[in-house]
Structure 1
Amino acid sequence: MKKPLQKSKIPDNKVFVIRELREAYLDKYWHSHEEYQLNVILKGRGTRYIGDHMKPFKEGDLVLTGPNLPHVWRCDNAYFDAESTMETHDIVIYFPESFLGKDALQKEEFAEIGKLLHMAGRGLEITGQTNKVVIKMMKDLVNQTGVTSIIGLLEILNVLAHSSELEPITQMDYKSNYTAHEKDKISEILEYVLKNFNQKITLQEVASLANMSESAFSRYFKTRVNKSFSDFLGDVRISNARKLLQDEDLNISQVCFESGFPTLSNFNKQFKDRIGKTPLAYKKDIREAFNN
């Protein structure tokens, strides 16, 4: 993979950057950058992987990430088909810690925003009414310029700083300590798994991809991703299953095999271990929530 995965998102003549993007699919590569990032998905579905956490994403997914926290919003495989007409739409804001000036966050007036940005080091999912309010503010901010745009960003951060509807994403002990080369290697591994999870994937395959022995790869992967490769692969498959279970036309067996599980019993066990309920109970809860 030749693509550089760590670079500044903000030109020298800008305080921050906001972009509204409409593309066939989102950037599929695991990456990080020095800026804070506030991102909302307005159209598109797939798997969101931030730090050591994985979750399906869809319209309305709103997340604030801190500097150097690796992440990727990878669209479902269908988006990458050559004949696909599917599209994505998102708004993303990048801003540095110093966007208010040197040491500004140490001042009393910005204490709450400073706390918010500290929490963003783990990634924050924004839910509830705050989600709706901030998405509208981001849509408005796209069309603002000059000092008005800076005020708009501060208003968004102020809303977030005083909200109780923020959920930390990564584990408290998660640490990102990859070199640029390691991010490139991990990105290639993640992309391979996210593309092929519904097929049989062996440890030998991915170790070969990383040019390592199986034992060396297992140690390497766990220290970088905070979980074993088998746990990561299971998480990818469960994430896909959670999306498929929302489709009333698919039965549990179809979801099981389309998500890459070898047997229905294995699927049921792994799903209950991770989600706390059986796939059937999960599907029932989704149906009841939708009908209400």
Structure 2
Amino acid sequence: MATTLIDNKRTDVVGRLLAEGALMNMLAFQIEAHDREKNTDDLSPKLSKAELSRITDLGDLIRKNISRRPSIEELANMIGVSQSKLQTGVKYLHGRTVNQFVTNIRLEVARELIQNTDMNQSEICYHIGFSSRSHFTKIFEERFGKVPSEYKKAFIRNKQGS
């Protein structure tokens, strides 16, 4: 763009239009770069490194207390941050809401239990903190493409085939 402007030796209407177009393009790129930088700043949370570290460790805390269903307020208190910082930090680190993050961990634990234990579906469901077996089955299928019993059968078949 700058070379178009510099190399433009024309002084007629077309030359002026080329120069104006090159300047407009340069200005548009500058505005776009500024907006991109501004939006990036808006995405980074106003959290200290210590707060981000505690939020990062939240997954382990949830796994250790998998049967409990703490509220967002309780989770925030457990790691020593405000509810809004918890929500902002989880969204920033994991791209999910706190509830989506917790549900995802519960489903991952359920998958591990299906693969590595003889627990039945009801035992797993209640062990990971779900009170409704049908809801657990529905979201497990949404996440992994199979209901838990089908997932277990497929896992056993694949394991025996290896």
TM-score bucket (shorter structure)? 0.5 to 0.7
For the pair 1:202 / 2:71, whether they are aligned, the reply is yes
Name 1:211's counterpart in structure 2: 81
Larger Rg: 2
Alignment of structure 1 residues 1-292 onto 2, 5 Å:
180-209=49-78, 210-212=80-82, 214-247=83-116, 249-292=118-161
1:230-280: CA deviations, max 9, x gaps? 111111111111111124622111111122222101211111111111111
Segments of structure 2 that go 5 or more residues without pairing to the other structure are 1-42
TM-score, normalised on structure 1?
0.36
CA RMSD of aligned residues (A): 2.5
Aligned residue type for 1:281: E
CA contact (8 A) 1:207 1:217 kept: yes
Deviation of the 1:176 alpha carbon: 8.9
Identity of aligned residues (%): 27
Structure with more contact order per residue of length (Cα contacts < 8 Å, sep ≥ 6): 1
CA contact (8 A) 1:197 1:233 kept: no
CA contact (8 A) 2:109 2:128 kept: yes
State the distance in 1 between where 2:57 and 2:160 align. 41
Q: 1:224 to 1:279 in 2, by over 3 A?
A: same
Structure number with the higher strand fraction is: 1
CA contact (8 A) 2:115 2:155 kept: yes
CA contact (8 A) 2:141 2:148 kept: yes
State the distance in 1 between where 2:158 and 2:89 align. 41
Aligned residue type for 1:290: K
1:180-204: CA deviations, max 9, x gaps? 3233221343332121122222111
CA contact (8 A) 2:69 2:129 kept: yes
Segments of structure 1 that go 5 or more residues without pairing to the other structure are 1-174
Aligned residue type for 1:206: L
State the distance in 2 between where 1:235 and 1:275 align. 11
TM-score, normalised on structure 2?
0.61
Aligned residue type for 2:129: G
CA contact (8 A) 1:199 1:260 kept: yes
State the distance in 2 between where 1:223 and 1:278 align. 31
Aligned residue type for 2:95: N
Structure number with the higher helix fraction is: 2
Secondary structure in structure 2 of the residue aligned to 1:246 = helix
1:150-176: CA deviations, max 9, x gaps? xxxxxxxxxxxxxxxxxxxxxxxxx99
CA contact (8 A) 2:51 2:81 kept: no
